[in-house]
Amino acid sequence: MKVQGYAQHTGKRLFVTPAIFEAGFSSRFTRENRQHPIYFDYPWSETDIVNIQLPDGYHLDHGDAVAQESYFNGGRKVKQLRAWLVAPNGFVKVFDKNSMADIGVFDQMELYNDIRVRSIRAEDPEIGSVFAYESQVEDKPLFAQDDYQFQNNLPAVRSRYILTLPSGWNATSVVFNHEAIQPVIDGSTYTWELKELPFHEHEEHSPSMFGLVPRLAVDFHPPSNTPLAAICFNSWTDVSRWHGQLAAGQDQVTPEIADKVRELVSSAPSEYAKIQAIGRYVQKIKYVAIEMDQAHGGGYKPHAAAVVFRKQYGTARIRQISCAPC
């Protein structure tokens, strides 16, 4: 027998459900409410063995469905994370707390950070399954901004970001990788929505999804004269002022640093040569990123110059501050 168009094309992929013997049957378990159990004439067992020879050049690509939320001590908390996997035959698998993994985040650019992730993974779900998850997160942001990525590489039928602000607040937004989206505003609730977002095929050396898929950045603006104004940015000057306060004191020069600077510039004949000597020394400090205390600006706040000088490693922020005038 031959079933035309059984597998679906998406980009360079073919999506095929191996459960061909169940294909086209409606599930007996889809009703929301049922007063009586489903009646079967008798108990029986089924065994299906399906061997599928793939077309030349194709290989099997298992896809896991993952729900995850990040958190860090003293700031962002994951209050709840639940997930469900609904198989094509209607069987619902519920993922509870015991299914959740708690793992550290690894970033190739960093030696260590204290961000962790709670995650639920449905491994290799049957094609045609629906994976759903719901999370509740409580965050104490460093500044009054949020961002939302409307999709990953997978297509999205509908993707929506809804924001409800306290009375008297308002929001402004910018959209990247997509034309502007005007939010629907109902009182203090703003809704941004996109529909029918396409699949993004992975290409070697392509930009990350961050630079390809629609992304929303939102600024929250409190009523004027609120103490929260310090964490609200209306301009780059505001950003600079915020960061200046965060980094204040980290560039403090110790006697050891001052001695080293004097040594470096002692034979420099000009101001430019002095800058060159200091710059070359700082460039030899090794790049090692350690981002801790995220709740209080870790990741944005440079490590103290004295610590970097003693340990001889740091990040771009540390190098920048190490070059600050003594």
User: Which residues here bind other proteins, judged by CB under 8 A?
Assistant: 1-9, 14, 16, 20-21, 23-25, 41-58
Smallest separation, CB 14 to other proteins (Å): 6
Smallest separation, CB 57 to other proteins (Å): 8
Phi, psi angles (nearest 5°) of residue 229? -55, -25
Q: Which residue has the tokens 């191996």?
A: 18
Q: Where are the beta strands (DSSP E) in 150-250?
A: 156-164, 170-176, 184-186, 189-197, 215-221
Nearer to other proteins, 1 or 109 (CB): 1
Nearer to other proteins, 39 or 44 (CB): 44
CB of 143 within 8 A of CB of 232?
A: yes
Smallest separation, CB 157 to other proteins (Å): 22
Residue 304: which of 235, 246, 229 has the closest Cα? 246
Nearer to other proteins, 24 or 187 (CB): 24
Smallest separation, CB 232 to other proteins (Å): 53
CB of 142 within 8 A of CB of 231?
A: yes
Nearer to other proteins, 51 or 270 (CB): 51
Number of CB atoms found within 10 A of residue 27's CB: 13
Nearer to other proteins, 1 or 180 (CB): 1
Nearer to other proteins, 45 or 267 (CB): 45
Smallest separation, CB 18 to other proteins (Å): 9
- What are the distances in angstroms from CA 254 to CA 78, 248, 281, 305, 317? 41, 15, 17, 8, 19
**Sequence-distant (≥ 6) Cβ neighbours of residue 299 within 8 angstroms:** 113, 291
Smallest separation, CB 7 to other proteins (Å): 4
